[in-house]
Amino acid sequence: MDGDELVRAHYSQAEEGKRLHETPNGVLERLRTWDLFERSLPAHGVVYDVGGGAGAHSAWLADRGYLVELFDPVPRHVSEATAVSQARSPGRRFVVEQGDARSIPRGDGSADVVLMLGPLYHLVETSERRQALIEARRLLKPGGLLVAAGISRFAWLMDAYRKGVADSAEIQASITYNLRTGRSNADPAPGAFWAYFHRPQELTGEITAAGFENVAIAGVEGFAWMLPDLNAILDSPASAEALLDQLRTVESEPSIVGASAHLLAQGVKPV
């Protein structure tokens, strides 16, 4: 199977629509992503949610008055996102269309914001990621904002030990391969998670090389995704707010950014 087929096969099985709402790490990722949106996005405008999955972020943005269009290559995601949109009041719906990050059927300079919260890690080849970034730059108006997610190069190393599955020789070999190459695995089976894991400086470098300015990076979950009591913390409003506040404090600290499971980079299209 090629990379595109691997991604479609994985998400035909994975419950991506539930992950951001029903798992502690998913909830943390969602809350932190929205917090970063609130501090980064313009007050209004057209947002293309490229690789937008089942529509969690598109729905949140539509609630805040943005004109949102979601594009995703996975038929299941398109179906789920369409159902989410159609269940909303007419003024809070968003457009849903099947589409690939490397070629979005919209005009030059038609978006104020392009979100890419999945494509840059599911496009494993450097050339594919560059194509997607150049496409995002084409879609943006001058001065428009790109917000792009990556997975940290060190996420599998930490996750394997967090989950207590690192003892086997097979897992140790997969960690070593992942750290060396950035690829999620050497010989992915159908349905396996297929992705590229970035070093923080590598992600910012790719975005800069694609012609974006003022590129900055933040750790999404920071250290908190490894906490054994994360669910209890998030269930307490006071504890959750305290944690989120501390994560804001360290989100751009270079010495800790790579400890986050996900990285969120921003760049501006030159005027």
Average pLDDT on 231-243 reads 97
Residue 46 has pLDDT above 70, yes or no: yes
Q: Residue 9: what pLDDT?
A: 81
Cα–Cα distance, 243 to 256 (Å, whole number): 16
Is 184 within the bounds of a domain? no
Is 98 within the bounds of a domain? yes
Q: Residue 167: what pLDDT?
A: 94
Is 137 within the bounds of a domain? yes
Cα–Cα distance, 59 to 171 (Å, whole number): 37
Coil, helix or strand for 100?
Answer: strand
Residue 44 has pLDDT above 80, yes or no: yes
- For residue 71, the domain's CATH number is 3.40.50.150
What tens digit of pLDDT does each residue of 71-87 get?
999 999 999 999 999 99
- Given a contact cutoff of 8 angstroms between Cβ atoms, the answer to whether 105 and 38 are in contact is no
Q: How many domains does the chain have?
A: 1
- In sequence order, the β-bridge partners of residue 231 are none
Is 67 within the bounds of a domain? yes
Average pLDDT on 41-60 reads 97
Buried b (16+ CB within 10 A) or exposed e, 200-227: bebbbebbeebebeebebbbbbbebbbb
Average pLDDT on 215-240 reads 97
Residue 149 has pLDDT above 90, yes or no: yes
- Given a contact cutoff of 8 angstroms between Cβ atoms, the answer to whether 250 and 222 are in contact is yes
Is 232 within the bounds of a domain? yes
Q: Residue 1: what pLDDT?
A: 65
Is 182 within the bounds of a domain? no
Average pLDDT on 181-203 reads 91
Domain limits for position 109: 3-152+198-268
| Residue type (1 letter), 157 | L
Coil, helix or strand for 187?
Answer: coil
Q: Residue 192: what pLDDT?
A: 84
Is 159 within the bounds of a domain? no
Residue 3 has pLDDT above 90, yes or no: no
Smallest CA-to-CA distance from 132 within 50, 33, 214 is with 50
Residue 14 has pLDDT above 80, yes or no: no
Is 175 within the bounds of a domain? no
Indicate left, alpha or beta for 174 from its phi (over 0: left) and psi (-120 to 50: alpha): alpha
Coil, helix or strand for 136?
Answer: helix
Cα–Cα distance, 244 to 5 (Å, whole number): 36
Cα–Cα distance, 157 to 176 (Å, whole number): 8
pTM: 0.95
What tens digit of pLDDT does each residue of 83-119 get?
999 999 999 999 999 999 999 999 999 999 999 999 9
